[in-house]
Amino acid sequence: MILVIDRRATRLRHDQGLICVEQDAATTRRVPIQPLELVVVYGNPLVETTVWRKLAAAGVPTVLLPTRSADPPTWLGASLATQLPLRRLQHRCASNPVQALAIARWLIAGKLAGYDLPLAALQQRHQADPDACRAFLQRRDQALVTLAAVTTNDAALGIEGQVAQAWFGLLAASLAPTWQFRGRNRRPPRDPVNALLSLGYTLAAADIQQVALSAGLDPSFGFLHQPAPGRESMILDLTELFRAAVDHFVLSWINPAGPERSDWFYREEDGCRLSKSARPAFYQAWADVRRHWPYSTRSDPDQPWPTNPVTEQVRGVIERLRAELKALEAMA
């Protein structure tokens, strides 16, 4: 269950395990915390601090989406867990340039391999040119070969950036012109597809942060994204492995013919935004994909993409990360 707060003059308070959503003197929704999976808040409602504490204690991630596009979104959740061994292992390897580069390559390789998933949606739903798709895959496969030999983090990021640019270039050439997608842009997004991509990445990161904290990872200490004030580098690192599924979701959800004008609004300072009338359908679809999150790889190309809840997949990725870190220490 996803709770979306997107109306002005809304107040949230806690009452015996329930979130009371008050929108005016006569309207109150009482939402139980226990079945909540995600809370999304638009704008600046009045929220009692008890609400945040109860949501964090229940392990419910919260995404705060700003009213101004120049402001970044904020994720709220539980504090760092008490599992110290993984966090200590993370710090040791992140402080070792050789080991940090190895994990950065591992993250990028996983992201590049995942492009098969959204590429399938682009071909099947949007009839992308087969030759252009094959050319992209050849470029991706060559990048994976080159990635294995890089010796600096900047070089690894350069390879990832080149493939991402090629991917968004393929989208620009494949999507209907009415979507006005000309490449990746953000803060503010200038077209509906970029608006959906940014929103999807933000929502996915909320789940990733919650699981990463419960596992004991330090969200600020990454391998691919370098630590910086105010940046949750480890969450950004892990999110790279889930971007392909977000791209797949967006390409599967949008209408191949183009957007409905009533589903979007545009302001110069805030960019393109999903309208309130269109948000229920989007969040219903997002709630479904969270429970049936597609794997970025599959063993049999003739079978449907296997799925699992997104939180279980994040736990699986963190376990693989733990194994990679332990293997690197054992080799040192």
For residue range 66-77, list pLDDT tens digits in order. 776 667 788 777
**Three-class secondary structure of residue 31 per DSSP:** strand
Q: Hey, where are the domains in the chain? A: 2-60, 84-331
Q: What is the pLDDT of residue 132?
A: 96
**Token pair in block for residue 49:** 């601090």
The response to whether 225 counts as a known ligand-binding position is yes
CA atoms of 107 and 93, how far apart (whole Å): 14
Second-level CATH architecture of 84-331: Up-down Bundle (1.20)
Q: Is the pLDDT of residue 155 over 70?
A: yes
pLDDT over 80 (residue 81):
no
Average pLDDT, the chain: 88
CA separation for the pair 320, 51 (Å, rounded)? 34
pLDDT of residue 259: 85
Least confident of 23-32, 261-270, 275-284, 316-325: 23-32
Tokens (6 digits) for 94: 């992140």
pLDDT, one tens digit per residue, over 45-61 is 888 888 888 888 888 88
pTM confidence score = 0.88
Q: Which residues contact 247 (CB under 8 A, 6 or more apart)?
A: 117, 118, 121, 167, 197
**CATH fold of the domain at 2-60:** Ribosomal Protein L15; Chain: K; domain 2 (3.100.10)
